[in-house]
Amino acid sequence: MASHQFICFLAMISLMIINISANNACHPDDLKGLNDFKAGIHSDTSGRLSKWIGQDCCNWPGISCNSTTNRVVQIYLPGHYVSGDDESPNFVSSTMSGSISPSISLLTSLQVIDLNKLVGLTGQIPESIGVLKDLKELNLQTNQISSTIPESVFTLTSLTTLNLENNHLTGEISENICNLQALQKLFLSNNSFTGKIPLSITKLHSISTIHLEKNQLVGEIQLPLTPSQWPSIKTLSLDNNALTGVIPDSIGYLTTLSSLSISNNQLTGSIPSSLGNIKQLQMLKVNNNNLSVEMLPTTMCGLTELSVLYVSQNKIHGPLPGCLSSFKYLLDVDVPFKRTATLPMGVQKQ
């Protein structure tokens, strides 16, 4: 009798061990996807991938899983990160060389892919990435990724952050970008994008940050035609392109804007008086264009939050508005020579 109970006890323990092992085991698709990703990386100075061994991928460095389903939800392998504990943190800078395996599409529960500042990632963004419908953040900034953005990226309707800046991406920005209705932050700067800014970008109603600077974009600035289209916009950076035309009057609809940078383009016309509607504006850079202005609009006197003002290398003939002398936050200016008399004391002139 005792022997029978002991055998039952051992069987129960064995089942518990099997269940625990099963619960900790990586989903076969996730395991293959991660192992294929590892195989595509031929250099990892941090050594994190060398610890990707065994079946329990949820405990691998840089991997997070859903506690209920055990599916992988995050790949977080940035080039700059903190290791160690809170009492003795160690700030690490590392690189990885290689390419992103198309098998990343097997990780169908992924919500975050963060491979920023690894410097050495090359090749293309896999077309298969479009399968990852739960993906909220795609951050591949500061690598050497080339070719165009695959159209499948613009089917990722859960995306809130798309950061591809500082790569070697080319081609035009797709009009299908408007499909990303959850998108809040868009970083495409310092690539080699050509063509016009897509008109459909004005349909991104959740957008707060747009960085398209340092590309080869042409044509006119595309802005919403109604105040309700970009109700949360904070940053619009379009400098260092080849944009032409005028600054649209509709700029005044962007009343939540705090930073506007459109310098180093080929813009003409004047600075619209509607700019004065943007009461929260802290940085305004319109320098190095072909703007022709008798004097800055007096409506700018309402921009009392300004701390940075760059307007030089244009054709500004008249004096600066006297109200600028009372702007208590204005610290950094770049204005035409001989027009600085009305600026506050202590302002840093460029």
Structure tokens at 331: 């610290």
* Torsion over CA: 49, 51, 57, 61 (sign): negative
* Torsion over CA: 225, 236, 307, 347 (sign): negative
User: For the chain, percent helix, then strand, then coil, each to nearest 5?
Assistant: 25, 25, 50
Which pLDDT score, from 0 to 100, does residue 14 have? 42
Which pLDDT score, from 0 to 100, does residue 8 have? 44
Structure tokens at 201: 């970008």
Which pLDDT score, from 0 to 100, does residue 22 have? 44
53 to 25, 34, 46, 74, 118: CA distances (angstroms): 12, 11, 16, 18, 22
Helix (H, G, I), strand (E, B) or coil at 220: coil
Contact yes or no for 325/333 (Cβ under 8 A): no
29 CB neighbour count, 10 Å cutoff: 16
Domains in the chain (CATH in brackets) are 23-217 (3.80.10.10)
Task: Give the residue ranges of the chain where pLDDT is below 70.
Answer: 1-24, 84-88, 337-350
Summarised one tens digit per residue, pLDDT across range 15-32 is 443 344 445 689 999 999
